[in-house]
Amino acid sequence: MKRDFKKCVTFASLLMLLLLSIGGVGAQDPVTITWWTLASAESPEPAIRAVIEAFEAEHPNIKVDVTIMTESAYGDLMNTTLGAGEGAPDVAYFWETPWLPHALDITDRLEADPDLSRDDYFEHYFNTRAVWNDRVIGLPFTVGANFVMYNKDIFDEEGIDYPTADWTPWDFIEIAKALTDPDKRRWGGDRPRGPFRAVFKNIGATNPYSDDSTTVEGYLNGPESVEAYTWLWDLVDSGATPTPADIEVLGTEGTGPVDLFIAGRLAMATLNNGHMITARNAGVNFGVVPEPHVPGKDRYVHGWALTSSIWKETEHPDEAYEFLSFWVGPEGQRINMEIGALVPSLPSVLAEYPDADTDYFQGFMQVLDAKQTAEWRAAHPCWRGAVIRAVSDAWDLIMLGEIERDEVQATLDAMVAPGQAALDECVPRLGG
Amino acid sequence: MKTDARALSIQRQLRRSAARRRYARLVGHALVYALMIFLALIFMLPIFWMASTSLKLPREIFAWPPEWIPSTPQWGNFAEAFGKYPLARYMLNSAILVIANIIGGLISVPIIAYGFARFEFPFKNALFLLMLSTMMVPGHIKLIPMFWLYSRLELIDTYWPLILPAYFGNPFFVFLMTQYIRTIPRDLDDAARIDGAGAWGILYRIIIPLSRPALTVVVVFTFVWVWNDFLEPIIFLRDWDSYPISVGLAFFQGRYSVEWHLFMGATLVSIIPILVVYFFAQKHLIGGLASIGIKG
């Protein structure tokens, strides 16, 4: 009897312990992860809140503490917290190269994910924006690309046919000249914003230096490069484009000449899908066409996505991945597309885009599968890190109209030595 | 007779001379006023452009020829701007920060400046120099250590990092105030001391009442600096509802474009408090700055 009583007490104690432990698990506080993001036309504040609401409904044990900040604040805050080594968010955009070493390697997590894979994304965008040192360090949120937007009303007014995808860089100059009207303070087109971007590559310019990052001679001053710089000379000489100073004073700083385009003072402009929404909202009658290229040569596009990553010091990597894959996966991007105006980086979701049937959106879709200038740039950080500055005189002299057309070759020849010196200095500095 | 005629002639000459002087003075004043009006118009131009832009459609903003007064004013831009982001809330947050900082400055600055101006203590000059040298350190350099410090104190995402420094004395204001207090005759301190006032009594009954112009400078400058401060709020605040107006305005600047018409409308409303404060304080402010410059 006494033994039975002891057994009962022991059993009751164990049962109680078990119940308590189950109760403990049930009452456990949910894990809270921090997320920093930006409010924009593509992803406005209500869309951000809706993403969180949908995620938390699916994952009741994970709470998301969001900080929505301004574009101009984001860089300062990331630099400060990553520099301090504390206070950075679990999930955020990691769009600056110096931030990438602070991002968590999610290669294995993505491979093990049954609901998401790298094949779900646009291939070029994934490779250029989510992969670093052969590891997956994030997922590409949205896609952006440059293309030429043209004002249909101005074309109609001047009786000129709209440009089509098979136009060449020299067609661009001729059309720009025909659309320029000094009396109306109107320019026909804009200028590229740097060498070896899409139009340079479309003309046939290879790269400013060799793929193995050893040689500038024969690349920067090679015949294809000279042809591209000469095209630039012709464009500047045409008088059909605003100067960089015009753009700086009259345009929106750092975001392209969209203001001049919307005001009808620029008939064609190299803009992006964000500008497309701005122009649509402003009631501009416009069309979209890929940047001009030379038939028979590869077509390139200057494209980008927002690298969205997990901070590698996070205390909750599993929960952070759950959220990242939701936000940058089909559900999160669809919410942003429906509430905001996000262009998703997943072709399956992009197919549902509300404006997908419009002419301008179809024009935009044409550039998404083109080769990206970013592929070479991402693999050659010394171009933006050092060489571009060393050889910028050639660009500046042409932009300022300081040299004659037949001096382009000699000017590029003169840039080889400083370019080579910058490359030789940079390559070992960045670890080869 | 001859003398009378001569006196009359002299009187006429004097009258003519006085009339010429009056005329010259009038012309001089007219020129000065014309110049001042011209300069005022030039300085007003950006504000006028802001007001004009706030009433336009996006495609009208950079159109040529520019339309200074929009033919169809878009009054709805103001409602759209304030509906898009909680700007009224952000203005209230800015007001809270401004008031808290002004109180901090009015408490700390006179005490510290009084110490430097009236007392002798070891290493006084070195400490004053050290304090002044902190003004030379660029703000960005201090960001990471400050973030680290406030993070350890668990004060991130609170207003404390934006308020606390004011309670430890802004070096620029301490310098101004020290110079100002040095111009107040010590005889007044001695007289108060004879009447039984201690150091605190002298500070609050003599120094502070006589330092009103310098304190006005502290108030107005603190108001403008805190109202316009952008960097520190973005570093220390996280909550959407806690941002000040300076951060709220930046939301109109997107990744790809700026909503100029809304941005200008919101900015126009946001500068009204500063204009009001400056309007009421300008007499003291100019007097305060001038007296510090002359007497210092």
Say whether pLDDT at A20 is over 60: no
For A189, the 3-state DSSP assignment is: coil
CA dist list (Å): B13 to A388, B17, B21, B153: 78, 6, 12, 82
Q: Are residues B107 and B234 in the same domain?
A: yes
Q: Give the DSSP per-residue string, A19-85.
A: HHHHHHHHTPPPEEEEEEEE--SSS-HHHHHHHHHHHHHH-TTEEEEEEEE-HHHHHHHHHHHHHHT
Q: Are residues B37 and B88 in the same domain?
A: no
Q: List B180's β-bridge partners, or say none.
A: none
Q: Hey, how many other C-beta atoms are within 10 angstroms of the C-beta on A112? A: 8
Contacting residues of B for A84, CB less than 8 Å apart: 144, 147-148, 151
Q: Are residues B45 and B142 in the same domain?
A: no
Say whether pLDDT at A394 is over 90: yes
pLDDT, mean of residues A160-168 = 96
CB A255 to CB B247 under 8 A? Answer: no
Q: Is B147 domain-assigned?
A: yes
* Average pLDDT score, chain A: 89
**Min CA distance, A71 vs chain B (Å)?**
6
Structure tokens at B141: 């350099």
Q: Is B66 domain-assigned?
A: no
What is the C-alpha to C-alpha distance for residues A365 and A245, in angstroms, rounded to an integer? 32
Q: Is B187 domain-assigned?
A: yes
What is the C-alpha to C-alpha distance for residues A262 and A283, in angstroms, rounded to an integer? 9
A182 part of contact set with chain B, CB < 8 Å: no
Please count the residue pairs, one from chain A and one from chain B, whose beta carbons lie less than 8 angstroms apart: 106
Q: Are residues B42 and B165 in the same domain?
A: no
Q: Are residues B208 and B291 in the same domain?
A: yes
For A146, the 3-state DSSP assignment is: strand
| pLDDT digit string, tens, across residues B81-94 | 999 999 999 999 99
pLDDT, mean of residues A296-303 = 90
Band (B285; pLDDT cuts 50, 70, 90): confident
Nearest residue on chain B to A272, alpha-carbon basis: B256
Looking at chain A, the whole-number percentage of residues with pLDDT higher than 70 is 91
Phi/psi for A265 (5° steps) reads -100, 0
Q: Are residues B35 and B129 in the same domain?
A: no
Domains A31-143+303-364 and A145-302+373-429 share a fold: yes
Q: Are residues B13 and B90 in the same domain?
A: no
Dihedral over Cα of A372, A373, A374, A379: its sign? positive
Q: Are residues B127 and B235 in the same domain?
A: yes
Structure tokens at A282: 């402003």
Q: How many domains in chain B?
A: 2
> Which has more pLDDT, A382 or A16?
A382
Q: What does the pLDDT read at residue B258?
A: 85
List the domain range (segments joined by +) for residue B11. 2-53
Q: Which of A27-31, B65-69, B199-203, B278-282 shows the lowest per-residue confidence on average (mean pLDDT)?
A: A27-31
What is the C-alpha to C-alpha distance for residues A237 and A195, in angstroms, rounded to an integer? 17
pLDDT, mean of residues A206-228 = 95
Contacting residues of A for B251, CB less than 8 Å apart: 39, 70
pLDDT, mean of residues A47-52 = 97
CA dist list (Å): A136 to A107, A132, A133, A308: 5, 6, 8, 11
What is the C-alpha to C-alpha distance for residues A111 and A118, in angstroms, rounded to an integer? 8
Question: Nearest to residue A241, comparing CAs of A29, A416, A401, A413?
Answer: A401
Angle at B248 between CA B56 and CA A52, to 5 degrees: 115
Q: What does the pLDDT read at residue A26?
A: 44
Of B62, B234, B256, the CB nearest to A265: B62
Say whether pLDDT at A16 is over 80: no
The C-alpha torsion from B271 through B272 and B275 to B279, rounded to 10°, is: -170
Q: Hey, how many other C-beta atoms are within 10 angstroms of the C-beta on B66? A: 12
Q: Give the DSSP per-residue string, B195-227.
A: TT--HHHHIIIIIHHHTHHHHHHHHHHHHHHHH
**Most A-contacting residue of B251, B262, B264 (CB-CB within 10 A), to test interface:** B251
Question: Nearest to residue B94, comparing CAs of B84, B82, B86, B105?
Answer: B86
pLDDT, mean of residues A306-331 = 97
Say whether pLDDT at A235 is over 70: yes
Per DSSP, A386 falls in state: I
Q: Are residues B163 and B17 in the same domain?
A: no
Band (A9; pLDDT cuts 50, 70, 90): low
Q: Hey, how many other C-beta atoms are within 10 angstroms of the C-beta on A22? A: 10
pLDDT, mean of residues B116-124 = 95
Contacting residues of A for B59, CB less than 8 Å apart: 262-264, 282-284
Q: Which helix (H) or strand (E) holds A301?
A: strand A300-301
Q: What does the pLDDT read at residue B290?
A: 62
Q: Is B197 domain-assigned?
A: yes
Of B57, B64, B257, the CB nearest to A274: B257
CA A233 and chain centroid, separation: 28
Q: Which helix (H) or strand (E) holds A286?
A: strand A286-289
Residue extents of the structural domains in chain A: 31-143+303-364, 145-302+373-429
| pLDDT digit string, tens, across residues B172-229 | 999 999 999 999 999 999 999 999 999 999 999 999 999 998 999 999 999 999 999 9
Q: Under the phi-then-psi rule, with left for phi > 0, alpha for psi from -120 to 50, and beta for the rest, what region is A256?
A: left
pLDDT, mean of residues A268-280 = 91
CATH number at residue B248: 1.10.3720.10
Q: Which helix (H) or strand (E) holds B25?
A: helix B2-53
Q: Which of A69-78, A108-117, A290-299, B67-76 has the highest mean pLDDT?
A: A108-117
Q: What does the pLDDT read at residue B295?
A: 47
Say which CATH class A31-143+303-364 falls into: alpha beta
Q: What does the pLDDT read at residue A231?
A: 97
Q: Is B93 domain-assigned?
A: yes
pLDDT, mean of residues A81-102 = 91
Say whether pLDDT at A81 is over 60: yes
Say whether pLDDT at B268 is over 50: yes
CB B234 to CB A260 under 8 A? Answer: no
Per DSSP, B253 falls in state: B
Band (A21; pLDDT cuts 50, 70, 90): very low
Say whether pLDDT at A2 is over 60: no
Contacting residues of B for A76, CB less than 8 Å apart: 143, 231, 234-235
Q: Is B226 domain-assigned?
A: yes
Say whether pLDDT at A179 is over 90: yes
Per DSSP, A305 falls in state: E
What is the C-alpha to C-alpha distance for residues A338 and B134, in angstroms, rounded to an integer? 51
Q: What does the pLDDT read at residue A432?
A: 62
Greatest Cα-to-Cα distance within chain B, rounded to the nearest angstrom = 100
> Which has more pLDDT, A71 or A383?
A383
For A283, the 3-state DSSP assignment is: coil
What is the C-alpha to C-alpha distance for residues B232 and B246, in angstroms, rounded to an integer? 11
Q: Are residues B159 and B199 in the same domain?
A: yes
Contacting residues of B for A87, CB less than 8 Å apart: 147, 151, 156
Q: Is B69 domain-assigned?
A: no
Q: Which of A35-49, A273-287, B3-17 shows the lowest per-residue confidence on average (mean pLDDT)?
A: B3-17
Residue type, A10: T
Say whether pLDDT at A29 is over 90: no
Q: Are residues B42 and B129 in the same domain?
A: no
| pLDDT digit string, tens, across residues B14-51 | 999 999 999 999 999 999 999 999 999 999 999 999 99
Q: Is B63 domain-assigned?
A: no
Q: What does the pLDDT read at residue A252?
A: 55
Q: Are residues B136 and B283 in the same domain?
A: yes
Q: What CATH topology corresponds to A145-302+373-429?
A: D-Maltodextrin-Binding Protein; domain 2 (3.40.190)
Q: Give the DSSP per-residue string, A193-237.
A: SSTTSHHHHHHT---SS-TTS---TTTTTSHHHHHHHHHHHHHHH
Per DSSP, A92 falls in state: E
Say whether pLDDT at A1 is over 50: no
> Which has more pLDDT, B296 or A405?
A405
Q: Tell me the CA end-to-end span of chain B in Å, nearest whole number.
A: 63
Contacting residues of B for A153, CB less than 8 Å apart: none
pLDDT, mean of residues A423-428 = 93
